[in-house]
Amino acid sequence: MLRYIFQRIVAMLITLFIVVSLSFCILRMMPGSFISGSELSPEVKAAIEAKYHLNEPIIV
């Protein structure tokens, strides 16, 4: 019984890792950003991107 529970927990963790990784990759590959459709000036957009490090690559 313990072996079955252990196998289920391992499978759950692997599935969770895959789902989170795919979600992250899909969201990063989408064109634009959450501020691209707003009516903000380019200076404000640049400040927001710098504040939240959106202008940096994924691996820093």
Q: Residue 51's closest CA among 31, 27, 35, 37?
A: 35
* Domain boundaries defined on the chain: 2-51
Digit-by-digit pLDDT tens for the chain (60 residues) are: 999 999 999 999 999 999 999 998 998 888 877 777 778 888 999 999 899 888 888 775
Indicate the pTM of the whole model: 0.62
- Say how many residues make up the chain: 60
Per DSSP, 16 falls in state H
